[in-house]
Amino acid sequence: MRTGGPAGWAPPPCARFPPVKRTAATLVSILAAMLLVAPAAMAENGVGLAGPTTDKTVTFFCFGVIAFFAILPIVMSLIQGKLEKRKDRRRSDLERFN
């Protein structure tokens, strides 16, 4: 499947899929927009949207990060357990009715 260009040239595999090209273009434009807006987001003298950055603020933020990464695998394991039970129940129902 050759489309123009020099002899023997073929588009890369991802170029054949418009959703991939569209997603890549979207990600590049989002990254460019973030890079353009970043200098305006800089805080003056350590005072941002949440007020001045203190040791207490940093400590509580870090505790929140620790709690998030402790709770995330627990919640994901509970969800996976429920889905496994559902799959097993469905499989046993199929075996029982067939």
DSSP-assigned letters across all residues of 3-68: -SSSTT----GGGG-HHHHHHHHHHHHHHHHHHHHGGGGPPBTTEETTEE--HHHHHHHHHHHHHH
**Whether pLDDT at 83 is above 90:** yes
Going by pLDDT thresholds of 50, 70 and 90, the confidence category of residue 20 is confident
Q: Which residue ranges make up each domain of the chain?
A: 11-43, 53-98
Q: SS3 sequence, 68-81?
A: HHHHHHHHHHHHHH
The pLDDT, as a whole number, for residue 5 is 59
Write the pLDDT tens digit of every residue in 22-74: 888 999 999 999 888 877 666 667 676 677 788 998 999 999 999 999 999 99
Q: What is the pLDDT of residues 10-19, one digit of tens each?
A: 766 655 667 7
Q: What is the pTM of this model?
A: 0.49
- CA distance linking residue 44 with residue 58, whole number of Å: 17
Residue 20: count other Cβ atoms within 10 Å of its Cβ.
13
Residue 81, pLDDT above cutoff 70 = yes
Residue 84: both structure tokens together: 């496994």
> Any idea which residue has 């941002």 for tokens?
48
